[in-house]
Structure 1
């Protein structure tokens, strides 16, 4: 009888400790699983799953695939090359290592990017590009300076924070709808319960850094118009899907780390927004300049996240069980833009089925490189082999009027170095 009781306790205890990461792993590896169990879903996530198939496709499939492809590119020359092989990636995502943190951040950024781009391109009926400044001017572009543009963005952020802090029951129905669907304000996307006081997330000081601090506004007067990228819509819907509430224990360091890195990935998109301008006037003059906010290429954002992977901070759970702190007593707390991890990375030099490491045997390396793809570094000092391969390339290309280019096929010899 005692044995049966022990088995029963273990069965009921297992989902509490492993459910969150297992579910998160399945979502990233197979995005279609997100909405298959709609009975478990509540709130906005359930709404989108049941009624918003186009948005779901844009968020889950395009966004997460974008993140994984960019992860492979950024780490193509490293020992861990972010392989998307299912068994390997599943093992990686079950840990709280640097690699897991980067995958969570880049996929959250990918979802934000894909949804924001879909809004701007008019592919979703739920949103459009951001024309908040034109709406305040009767639907017409307005003339601003750097100072007035910053003041307008500041007012937007303050108004959005007030709306988020106001209890839902105290809001007019139109305000409640605006709180959920307003696509015009660009606010800090940290959850309200963590915006100060005892429950604030560790690391960073609140409110000082604004996303427009990185934007270079033109001198003099210019016209705020055009079709700005609606990044706030992408931020909110990325959080709805990837930060869905999971069953967890009070002292769940893995979930705290995951949500922190998700948020860091989204902030990397928001804080990389840039101002693009176009000149108007006779004979190419710039009598009127129209400007709007636009996201940079996703590769630029991924490069910044890769740099944050290299400088990621190791953290441990605080005694309160609701937050984390640096593992080293002399280290500074991580701010909301930095990546964090709780587990040391495995050795990716040799295959290990438990950690998901595939090893570097057979990988191509570069003997003349000084980077991570250098042969002695990538091959973990095991040595490498060298062979000459023949490759067909286009050569002696000739342009023919009007619209044709003809090339011959030439054989080229290339040295290939492979890790032992």
Structure 2
């Protein structure tokens, strides 16, 4: 199911007999929730690709490469699972509103996104379909699912509207809203950069950090157990597509710089001619007219 959600989310309920826990019940009785799960899985992959657009591994879903990636426990795999869980919770919560009415020093009477309902349904579908045995892969997967959910649940925003004579704001109507999902993606990308490597504990029912000098992971941290493969060259074994043909930035030190992205192999330079708007003028009233100018742009691609 974890791989199916990401590789082909439209088929998650095709073979109901293979599902476990509350998954078949949701498939049969709550088709609207299933639609949200499907759209959430797609939202998660889109955000993953936005976050990794300039990295050697750019969250491609090309088959069979994505299947190979998901078989590992690398930090890239962990991010995919975490962002998928967050996106499914986000989509379910966004589609269900609930009035929140609790009196404080101002009034809460707006309609809030129902993140608690989304959390419950996401957990039901994603966490309860596993066999009861415990192993490191399952523990890591469940931890990262929870980290994704917490990234949404713990980062809801307050929105308020003032009421009163002459803008006095004598009382407020407030509600809890989901932030833009790109903000969730940014937070999880930070967690990815600080992901914690773990290994199976001595009791076989838990995990510990690989190094005793590293603090145990919090519930909202991303964890993994395998080193990241080399994504420089194509590899059927690891799912790497390599970086040949990728566009890079010459002279930049970031992850999309030609030296880093091209893995020291060098790069080609091509000149591309484009048309852009130029010599734009404002006309009264109310339009803008522009000429078309041809410009040359240098493009660098990895060898």
Q: TM-score, normalised by structure 2?
A: 0.93
Superposition RMSD on alpha carbons, in Å? 1.9
Query: 2:41 is matched with which residue: 44, 60, 64?
Result: 64
Gaps of 5+ in 2: none
Q: CA deviation at 1:396?
A: 4.1
2: CA distance, partners of 1:320 / 1:313: 20
User: What is the match of residue 99 of structure 2?
Assistant: 131
- Correspondence 1:384 to 2:267: yes
- Structure 1 or 2: more strand by fraction: 2
1: CA distance, partners of 2:180 / 2:169: 26
- Structure 1 or 2: more helix by fraction: 1
Deviations 1:333-356 (A, max 9, x none): 111111010111100111111101
Deviations 1:2-30 (A, max 9, x none): xxxxxxxxxxxxxxxxxxxxx42122211
Q: CA deviation at 1:282?
A: 3.1
Deviations 1:179-223 (A, max 9, x none): xxxxxxxxxxxxxxxxxxxxxxxxxxxxxxxxxxxxxxxxxx321
Query: 1:332 is matched with which residue: 192, 212, 215?
Result: 215
**Relative to structure 1, is the Cα distance of residues 25 and 401 closer, same or farther in structure 2, using a 3 angstrom cutoff?**
farther
2: CA distance, partners of 1:397 / 1:248: 66
- Correspondence 1:33 to 2:11: yes
Deviations 1:244-287 (A, max 9, x none): 3223644x211110110010011000111111111122333322
Per mean C-alpha deviation after superposition, the further-off stretch among 392-401 and 66-75 is 392-401
1: CA distance, partners of 2:276 / 2:3: 41
User: What is the match of residue 256 of structure 1?
Assistant: 139
Q: CA deviation at 1:40?
A: 3.6
2: CA distance, partners of 1:415 / 1:328: 46
Per mean C-alpha deviation after superposition, the further-off stretch among 110-119 and 380-389 is 380-389
Q: CA deviation at 1:33?
A: 2.7
**Relative to structure 1, is the Cα distance of residues 400 and 65 closer, same or farther in structure 2, using a 3 angstrom cutoff?**
farther
Query: 1:83 is matched with which residue: 60, 63, 85?
Result: 60
Deviations 1:295-322 (A, max 9, x none): 1111011011011111111111112211
**Relative to structure 1, is the Cα distance of residues 97 and 239 closer, same or farther in structure 2, using a 3 angstrom cutoff?**
same
Deviations 1:51-77 (A, max 9, x none): 222221112x21011000000000001
Query: 1:347 is matched with which residue: 215, 221, 230?
Result: 230
1: CA distance, partners of 2:299 / 2:20: 54
User: What is the match of residue 115 of structure 2?
Assistant: 231
* 8 Å Cα contact 2:100-2:109 kept in structure 1: no
- SS of the equivalent of 1:411 reads strand
- SS of the equivalent of 2:113 reads coil
2: CA distance, partners of 1:240 / 1:402: 58
1: CA distance, partners of 2:233 / 2:92: 38
**Relative to structure 1, is the Cα distance of residues 399 and 244 closer, same or farther in structure 2, using a 3 angstrom cutoff?**
farther
- Return the index of the structure with the highest Cα Rg: 1
Q: TM-score, normalised by structure 1?
A: 0.68
- Correspondence 1:244 to 2:128: yes
Q: CA deviation at 1:381?
A: 1.7
